[in-house]
Amino acid sequence: MPGGHATRPEADRPRLVVATRSEHKLRELGELLHLERGVLLSLDDLGVPGESVEDGPTFEANARIKARFAVEATGLPSLADDSGIEVDALGGGPGVRTRRYAGPSATDASNNAKLLAALDGLPPDRRGARYVCVLALALPEPWGPSEPWGPARSSRTRGPIGRPRLILRRGTCRGRIASSPRGDGGFGYDPIFEPASEPPGGRTLGLYSREEKHAISHRARAARRMAPVLRDLGF
Protein backbone atom coordinates (compact mmCIF):
# COMPACT_ATOMS: atom_id res chain seq x y z
CA MET A 1 0.00 0.00 0.00
CA PRO A 2 1.38 3.47 -0.85
CA GLY A 3 2.96 5.61 1.84
CA GLY A 4 4.69 4.95 5.14
CA HIS A 5 7.45 2.53 6.07
CA ALA A 6 7.06 -1.09 5.06
CA THR A 7 8.39 -2.27 8.45
CA ARG A 8 5.53 -0.72 10.39
CA PRO A 9 2.37 -2.89 10.66
CA GLU A 10 -0.31 -1.32 8.50
CA ALA A 11 -2.94 -1.66 11.24
CA ASP A 12 -0.87 0.65 13.47
CA ARG A 13 -0.46 3.39 10.89
CA PRO A 14 -2.73 6.45 10.61
CA ARG A 15 -5.03 6.16 7.62
CA LEU A 16 -5.58 8.86 5.03
CA VAL A 17 -8.41 8.43 2.54
CA VAL A 18 -7.79 9.55 -1.03
CA ALA A 19 -11.08 10.53 -2.68
CA THR A 20 -10.53 8.40 -5.76
CA ARG A 21 -11.25 4.96 -7.17
CA SER A 22 -8.19 5.12 -9.43
CA GLU A 23 -5.31 2.86 -8.43
CA HIS A 24 -3.09 4.94 -10.72
CA LYS A 25 -3.85 8.16 -8.82
CA LEU A 26 -3.50 6.42 -5.44
CA ARG A 27 -0.09 5.05 -6.41
CA GLU A 28 1.08 8.37 -7.87
CA LEU A 29 0.11 10.35 -4.78
CA GLY A 30 1.87 7.77 -2.62
CA GLU A 31 5.05 8.28 -4.64
CA LEU A 32 4.76 12.06 -4.47
CA LEU A 33 3.79 12.55 -0.82
CA HIS A 34 6.40 10.22 0.77
CA LEU A 35 4.36 9.80 3.96
CA GLU A 36 6.46 8.97 7.00
CA ARG A 37 3.79 7.11 8.97
CA GLY A 38 0.46 7.16 7.15
CA VAL A 39 -1.11 4.74 4.72
CA LEU A 40 -3.26 5.84 1.77
CA LEU A 41 -6.60 4.15 1.13
CA SER A 42 -8.98 4.63 -1.79
CA LEU A 43 -12.76 4.86 -1.60
CA ASP A 44 -12.93 1.31 -2.94
CA ASP A 45 -10.53 0.08 -0.24
CA LEU A 46 -13.09 1.24 2.32
CA GLY A 47 -16.18 0.11 0.40
CA VAL A 48 -17.57 3.64 0.04
CA PRO A 49 -20.52 3.70 -2.39
CA GLY A 50 -21.65 6.59 -4.57
CA GLU A 51 -19.85 9.54 -6.10
CA SER A 52 -19.49 13.22 -5.33
CA VAL A 53 -21.09 15.72 -7.70
CA GLU A 54 -18.25 17.81 -9.10
CA ASP A 55 -20.19 20.87 -10.18
CA GLY A 56 -17.95 23.60 -8.79
CA PRO A 57 -16.76 26.50 -10.98
CA THR A 58 -13.09 26.15 -9.98
CA PHE A 59 -10.54 23.44 -9.23
CA GLU A 60 -10.58 24.56 -5.60
CA ALA A 61 -14.35 24.18 -5.35
CA ASN A 62 -14.32 20.68 -6.85
CA ALA A 63 -11.43 19.54 -4.66
CA ARG A 64 -13.39 20.70 -1.61
CA ILE A 65 -16.51 18.84 -2.80
CA LYS A 66 -14.59 15.58 -3.22
CA ALA A 67 -12.74 15.90 0.09
CA ARG A 68 -15.97 16.62 2.00
CA PHE A 69 -17.68 13.63 0.36
CA ALA A 70 -14.87 11.32 1.47
CA VAL A 71 -14.59 12.61 5.03
CA GLU A 72 -18.36 12.48 5.55
CA ALA A 73 -18.50 8.92 4.17
CA THR A 74 -15.60 7.57 6.22
CA GLY A 75 -15.07 9.80 9.24
CA LEU A 76 -11.36 9.73 8.38
CA PRO A 77 -9.02 12.49 7.21
CA SER A 78 -9.45 12.69 3.45
CA LEU A 79 -7.39 14.05 0.58
CA ALA A 80 -8.88 15.02 -2.78
CA ASP A 81 -7.33 16.19 -6.01
CA ASP A 82 -8.88 18.21 -8.79
CA SER A 83 -6.80 19.06 -11.78
CA GLY A 84 -6.93 20.10 -15.39
CA ILE A 85 -5.45 22.25 -18.09
CA GLU A 86 -5.96 25.96 -18.77
CA VAL A 87 -5.13 27.34 -22.22
CA ASP A 88 -4.48 31.06 -22.61
CA ALA A 89 -6.02 31.30 -26.09
CA LEU A 90 -9.22 29.73 -24.76
CA GLY A 91 -9.58 32.16 -21.88
CA GLY A 92 -8.46 29.55 -19.37
CA GLY A 93 -10.47 26.70 -20.87
CA PRO A 94 -11.10 23.82 -20.77
CA GLY A 95 -10.45 24.36 -17.03
CA VAL A 96 -12.85 22.37 -14.85
CA ARG A 97 -14.20 20.75 -18.04
CA THR A 98 -10.80 19.26 -18.85
CA ARG A 99 -11.91 15.63 -18.67
CA ARG A 100 -15.17 16.32 -20.54
CA TYR A 101 -13.82 18.80 -23.09
CA ALA A 102 -14.86 16.69 -26.09
CA GLY A 103 -18.16 15.64 -24.49
CA PRO A 104 -19.52 13.42 -21.69
CA SER A 105 -17.91 10.29 -23.17
CA ALA A 106 -14.63 11.98 -24.09
CA THR A 107 -11.39 10.02 -24.26
CA ASP A 108 -7.87 11.37 -23.93
CA ALA A 109 -7.50 11.08 -27.71
CA SER A 110 -10.73 12.95 -28.47
CA ASN A 111 -9.91 15.69 -25.96
CA ASN A 112 -6.45 16.14 -27.47
CA ALA A 113 -7.85 16.24 -31.00
CA LYS A 114 -10.42 18.89 -30.08
CA LEU A 115 -7.81 21.06 -28.37
CA LEU A 116 -5.42 20.82 -31.31
CA ALA A 117 -8.24 21.77 -33.68
CA ALA A 118 -9.16 24.77 -31.51
CA LEU A 119 -5.58 26.07 -31.69
CA ASP A 120 -4.96 25.17 -35.32
CA GLY A 121 -2.74 27.74 -37.03
CA LEU A 122 -1.67 29.56 -33.86
CA PRO A 123 2.09 30.13 -33.43
CA PRO A 124 3.93 28.81 -30.35
CA ASP A 125 3.78 32.15 -28.52
CA ARG A 126 -0.04 32.00 -28.61
CA ARG A 127 -0.31 28.39 -27.45
CA GLY A 128 0.53 29.04 -23.80
CA ALA A 129 -1.08 26.73 -21.25
CA ARG A 130 -0.70 25.46 -17.73
CA TYR A 131 -1.59 22.29 -15.91
CA VAL A 132 -3.21 22.99 -12.52
CA CYS A 133 -3.67 20.69 -9.53
CA VAL A 134 -5.45 21.55 -6.29
CA LEU A 135 -5.18 19.20 -3.32
CA ALA A 136 -7.78 19.56 -0.57
CA LEU A 137 -7.29 17.93 2.83
CA ALA A 138 -10.46 17.54 4.90
CA LEU A 139 -10.10 16.83 8.63
CA PRO A 140 -13.20 15.63 10.49
CA GLU A 141 -14.23 17.73 13.44
CA PRO A 142 -13.53 17.03 16.19
CA TRP A 143 -10.22 15.53 15.16
CA GLY A 144 -6.65 15.44 16.33
CA PRO A 145 -3.61 13.19 16.03
CA SER A 146 -4.79 11.26 19.12
CA GLU A 147 -8.17 10.40 17.60
CA PRO A 148 -8.78 6.69 16.89
CA TRP A 149 -8.24 5.51 13.32
CA GLY A 150 -11.34 3.34 13.22
CA PRO A 151 -12.87 1.64 10.19
CA ALA A 152 -15.10 3.43 7.73
CA ARG A 153 -18.49 3.98 9.29
CA SER A 154 -21.33 1.80 8.15
CA SER A 155 -24.69 3.26 7.20
CA ARG A 156 -26.00 2.10 10.60
CA THR A 157 -23.31 3.82 12.65
CA ARG A 158 -22.68 6.82 10.47
CA GLY A 159 -23.70 10.00 12.20
CA PRO A 160 -23.22 13.65 11.41
CA ILE A 161 -19.77 15.08 11.90
CA GLY A 162 -18.92 18.71 12.32
CA ARG A 163 -18.06 20.78 9.30
CA PRO A 164 -14.62 19.50 8.27
CA ARG A 165 -11.56 21.68 8.45
CA LEU A 166 -10.16 22.15 4.94
CA ILE A 167 -6.57 22.82 3.89
CA LEU A 168 -5.78 23.52 0.22
CA ARG A 169 -2.54 23.53 -1.74
CA ARG A 170 -2.13 24.37 -5.45
CA GLY A 171 0.53 23.41 -7.96
CA THR A 172 0.98 24.53 -11.57
CA CYS A 173 3.17 23.54 -14.51
CA ARG A 174 3.53 26.14 -17.24
CA GLY A 175 4.07 25.25 -20.87
CA ARG A 176 2.44 25.32 -24.29
CA ILE A 177 0.29 23.12 -26.48
CA ALA A 178 2.31 21.30 -29.14
CA SER A 179 1.28 21.31 -32.79
CA SER A 180 0.83 17.52 -32.78
CA PRO A 181 0.92 14.62 -30.28
CA ARG A 182 4.31 13.17 -29.38
CA GLY A 183 4.90 10.28 -26.99
CA ASP A 184 2.56 7.84 -25.35
CA GLY A 185 3.63 8.19 -21.72
CA GLY A 186 1.46 9.71 -19.01
CA PHE A 187 -2.20 10.39 -19.62
CA GLY A 188 -4.65 13.18 -20.34
CA TYR A 189 -3.08 15.96 -22.40
CA ASP A 190 0.53 14.88 -21.74
CA PRO A 191 1.25 13.95 -25.41
CA ILE A 192 0.48 17.53 -26.53
CA PHE A 193 1.87 19.49 -23.55
CA GLU A 194 5.37 20.94 -23.86
CA PRO A 195 6.73 22.15 -20.48
CA ALA A 196 8.04 25.73 -20.48
CA SER A 197 11.61 24.44 -20.13
CA GLU A 198 11.34 22.86 -23.59
CA PRO A 199 11.75 24.85 -26.84
CA PRO A 200 8.81 24.93 -29.27
CA GLY A 201 8.71 21.53 -30.90
CA GLY A 202 10.62 20.00 -27.98
CA ARG A 203 9.63 17.07 -25.82
CA THR A 204 6.10 16.75 -24.53
CA LEU A 205 5.25 15.25 -21.14
CA GLY A 206 4.29 12.16 -23.11
CA LEU A 207 8.02 11.68 -23.76
CA TYR A 208 9.14 12.29 -20.17
CA SER A 209 10.14 9.50 -17.82
CA ARG A 210 8.14 9.06 -14.61
CA GLU A 211 11.02 10.57 -12.63
CA GLU A 212 11.30 13.59 -14.92
CA LYS A 213 7.56 14.22 -14.76
CA HIS A 214 7.49 13.89 -10.97
CA ALA A 215 10.13 16.64 -10.76
CA ILE A 216 7.99 19.29 -12.50
CA SER A 217 4.35 18.21 -12.73
CA HIS A 218 1.46 20.23 -11.32
CA ARG A 219 0.46 17.32 -9.06
CA ALA A 220 4.02 16.91 -7.79
CA ARG A 221 4.24 20.60 -6.94
CA ALA A 222 0.91 20.52 -5.09
CA ALA A 223 2.00 17.36 -3.26
CA ARG A 224 5.29 18.95 -2.18
CA ARG A 225 3.29 21.81 -0.65
CA MET A 226 0.86 19.45 1.09
CA ALA A 227 3.48 16.98 2.39
CA PRO A 228 4.71 19.17 5.30
CA VAL A 229 1.10 19.68 6.42
CA LEU A 230 0.55 15.93 6.50
CA ARG A 231 3.81 15.31 8.37
CA ASP A 232 2.86 17.89 11.00
CA LEU A 233 -0.48 16.09 11.45
CA GLY A 234 1.23 12.78 12.13
CA PHE A 235 1.07 11.16 8.70
| Active-site residue list | 82
Strand pairing of 193-195 and 15-18?
Answer: unpaired
Closest CA to 150 of 73, 74, 78: 74
Cα 168–186–67 angle (5° rounding)?
25
The pairing of beta strand 15-18 with beta strand 128-141: unpaired
Alpha helix locations (H) across the chain? 23-33, 59-74, 108-118, 210-216, 218-232
Which one-letter DSSP state was computed for residue 105?
T
What burial class does residue 37 get, using C-beta atoms within 10 Å of its C-beta: 0-12 exposed, 13-18 middle, 19+ buried? Answer: middle
